[in-house]
Structure 1
Amino acid sequence: MSALQEPLDPALYESRAHIPIAVITVVLSLASIAVGLRTHTRAVILRQFGIDDATAILALILAYGSGIMVASNTLYGAGRHIQVVDLSLLWKYFRTFYVSIVLYNGSLTAIKIAFLLQYYRILTTQRMRRVITGALIFVALWSISQLLVTIFTCTPIEKFWKPEVEGTCIPNLPFWYINAAGNILTDVIVFATPLPALGALNLRKSQKLMLLGIFSLGFFTCAISIIRIQYLKLSPDVTWDNVESSCWSISELCSGIICACLPTLRPLLAKFVPSIGTSKNTSYYKQHASGRDGTPGTGYSGAGRMKSVETSSERGIVYPEDIELHGGSDSGKGVRTDHRLSGHQQGRNHYIPQNLGFQPEMKTEIASGIPPSPSMRADRGIEVKRDFVITNGSY
């Protein structure tokens, strides 16, 4: 007669499988809204969808993959004590856990690259672009190396979820601590990179603080990364203990995605709250126009005449999507850009805020009527050339 098995403590049958499902649903929903609004703003409102926006979408897709793996792991024992989990399901638990870790590192890499590509688009001085390029190379190399180490933690890979398979594995705990510390360091590099350039802008104190605050939102993700470290060390009851670590990991990803999207949403908010885009600051523009329209006093007579017009317009508080910090050199003297305006661009109000320290001078030349030279095509019509000269002086 076999001995009776000792009954387990009723507390071991407790389940908290609902916690990761609830947390993942909430944070992924918020991240999806942020990416959706960013995509609409950049692609529809501004029509300037770029590689940084595509990278943010990729980060969200990978975060979804990691979150789905974490949530589906509740089918294999996640959220329950390992003593009451069916042992035949444990290999599936660790296989799903492995996939979630790989996707987590992939999403984290995409988030950091999205931040840096966004800085590269906005901060266009040569000095800042060199700094951002250096940061991008360092962060990309570190993140990709960690992703590869995660993928090949065990040789063969299958040994991660089937310990009986012959092979070797890197010890989990030292690697996870090194990975977490490196991620925090690269987070600080990513989020601190634009701050010196923003702090040097010629803005009112309130504007500068608001701009620095928007770009510093990413440090909230660093805080989550630091909190997550204390949950990396797991006891033998791994299916129970890993709930906190998994929840903080997905929250870290979604926080990074949201922080990357928030600075791009001001144009969308301004459509519904116009006061966001207005202030009492006035920017002045000086326009020199010359043409051949036959109008007495303003048209072309012999050598032609030049007409100067000063206009002003209301300009709102400076936001990341406004500044597009153009600078021609490290000395901050600005750039000169020449371009032909297409039909839909003619008549648009092109401006650069005066309070950024750059003074725009717009020159418009209009040529119409009979071409002065036979070499010009008669069907050329009206040609508009508009030059912007940005200087660092004052009127």
Structure 2
Amino acid sequence: MFDQVAAGHFWGNKIITANIVLTIITTACLGLRLWAKATTKAKFGWDDYLVILGQLLWFAQVPTQVFASRAGLQMTSFTDPKLLDFIYWVYIAGVFYFPIALCAACSILFFYRRVFPVQETKRLVDIFIVLHVLWGISTTIAEIFMCTPLNIPWTNPSAVPEKCINYPLFFVVAMSLEIVLNTAVLALPIREIMNLKMSMATKLSLGGIFLIGGASIISNIIRTIETYIPGDLFIDFAGDMFWIDIHQATALICANLPVCKPLMRASVTFVSTNFSKTFGSYGSYGSGFSGKKSSGSKGYESFPDATSQRSLVVDEGKDHIHMDHYEKQGNKNSIRVQHTVDIV
């Protein structure tokens, strides 16, 4: 039988530290997202509401994990009443996992739906939204009602084999389905990006933004491998809480980062513009060097804020793409029908 007492002592302080650090990071990422929304005056969508809900659920989950960790650090043996307190708080904390994972995944899917206005892609996104919702609801119900009655794990652990589902098997199946679904979701935008008429370097840069979500999948694979114990009645509860924190935080961060890109780009433009002005002012002194760039000189010219682009523009029927000040245009005299997709 796995030593939950030793695991509780090993992971206890690490879980508390992870909760503090990751709460700060995920909150900061959500704050950047909301700031980006405010600065670009973009409308809120389902992707925004879902990631906010996921963050609120994270806040609710944190104290349950802290209570579980404190009980775990105080356990001395398998007969210690603190072990039952530990199992109770682990159960409460576990209820939050699937809703948070569902919110993060669906936030990314609704973001895809808004950024890629292609009907075929929208249909695929809708299918994956339905699959994720079915997965999230079914696993949450199974997590809550895994025993009959519900309090068997922390009132009579010896009755778990007769009164509860095979939790390690449920854990492996649920995590495997999540990994498969999230991997498929990760691949969704790649085809659309590859079809865009832009340089390969720009495609790779844009694709890299979406592939950041791969970190969440990797953390989930590590979690499954590290906490599953073949042949045992339970998994490594303390270790699972630690890896849950890593996985959920990574998912929430990945859901926020693409939307924060306009803010980061605007910040870079602001710094670059002010640096150029400062550098140019120094050029007006001394040996007649002028900060003003002549038409024949070599150098770089900053894009003025009024023309700074914050969208992905795709023209139908003509070769035209605009992303991060990169532009390739076909026939200049043609009439273009264009879609502008705000990324916040």
Structure 2 counterpart of 1:102, from 91, 95, 99: 95
Matches within 5 A, 1:126-145: 126-145=119-138
For this pair of structures, how many residues does the alignment match? 296
1:18 maps to: 13
- In the alignment, is residue 323 of structure 1 matched against residue 317 of structure 2? no
Distance in 1 of aligned mates of 2:8 and 2:174: 34
Deviation string for 1:134-186 (max 9, x for gaps)?
A: 11112221222111111211122222322278982111111111111111111
- In the alignment, is residue 226 of structure 1 matched against residue 226 of structure 2? no
Structure 2 counterpart of 1:157, from 140, 150, 154: 150
3-state SS of paired residue (1:61): helix
Contact preservation (8 Å) 1:201, 1:356 = no
- In the alignment, is residue 263 of structure 1 matched against residue 254 of structure 2? no
Shift of 1:353: 7.1
Distance in 1 of aligned mates of 2:8 and 2:120: 60
Change (3 A) 1:72 1:142: same
Contact preservation (8 Å) 1:173, 1:232 = no
Change (3 A) 1:353 1:93: same
Distance in 2 of aligned mates of 1:192 and 1:184: 12
Contact preservation (8 Å) 2:190, 2:207 = yes
3-state SS of paired residue (2:228): coil
Contact preservation (8 Å) 1:358, 1:390 = no
Report the structure number with the largest CA radius of gyration.
1
Distance in 2 of aligned mates of 1:361 and 1:314: 25
Deviation string for 1:206-235 (max 9, x for gaps)?
A: 110000000100011111011111222359
Distance in 2 of aligned mates of 1:360 and 1:135: 41
Deviation string for 1:227-271 (max 9, x for gaps)?
A: 111222359999995332211111100001111111111221233
Deviation string for 1:254-291 (max 9, x for gaps)?
A: 0011111111112212332107999xxxxxxxxxxxxx
Distance in 2 of aligned mates of 1:270 and 1:214: 13
3-state SS of paired residue (2:311): helix
Change (3 A) 1:86 1:19: farther
Q: Which moved more, 1:58-67 or 1:233-242?
A: 233-242
Distance in 1 of aligned mates of 2:136 and 2:10: 35
Contact preservation (8 Å) 2:29, 2:253 = yes
2:337 maps to: 389
Matches within 5 A, 1:275-314: none
1:32 maps to: 27
Shift of 1:354: 4.6
Distance in 1 of aligned mates of 2:180 and 2:257: 22
The two structures have a TM-score, normalised by structure 1, of 0.65
Contact preservation (8 Å) 1:154, 1:169 = yes
Distance in 2 of aligned mates of 1:31 and 1:314: 32
Distance in 1 of aligned mates of 2:331 and 2:210: 22
Structure 2 counterpart of 1:250, from 236, 245, 269: 245
- In the alignment, is residue 201 of structure 1 matched against residue 196 of structure 2? yes
Shift of 1:46: 3.0
Change (3 A) 1:277 1:173: farther
Shift of 1:12: 11
Matches within 5 A, 1:345-356: 354-355=327-328
Distance in 2 of aligned mates of 1:242 and 1:160: 12
Change (3 A) 1:141 1:321: farther
Change (3 A) 1:60 1:183: same
Shift of 1:29: 1.3
Higher helix proportion = 2
Distance in 2 of aligned mates of 1:270 and 1:321: 8
The one-letter amino acid of 2:84's match is W
2:113 maps to: 120
Matches within 5 A, 1:52-63: 52-63=47-58
Change (3 A) 1:227 1:361: same
Contact preservation (8 Å) 1:82, 1:237 = no
Distance in 1 of aligned mates of 2:61 and 2:310: 30
Distance in 1 of aligned mates of 2:331 and 2:125: 22
Which structure 1 residue ranges, 5 or more long, are not aligned?
A: 1-10, 279-312, 335-351, 363-387
3-state SS of paired residue (1:193): helix
Contact preservation (8 Å) 1:66, 1:250 = no
Higher relative contact order (CA 8 A, sep 6+): 2
The one-letter amino acid of 1:45's match is T
Shift of 1:43: 3.5
Distance in 1 of aligned mates of 2:203 and 2:8: 55
2:291 maps to: none
Structure 2 counterpart of 1:211, from 185, 206, 212: 206
- In the alignment, is residue 45 of structure 1 matched against residue 40 of structure 2? yes
1:6 maps to: none
Q: Give identity over the alignment, percent.
A: 22
Higher strand proportion = 1
The two structures have a TM-score, normalised by structure 2, of 0.74
Shift of 1:53: 0.7
The one-letter amino acid of 2:13's match is H
Change (3 A) 1:124 1:21: same
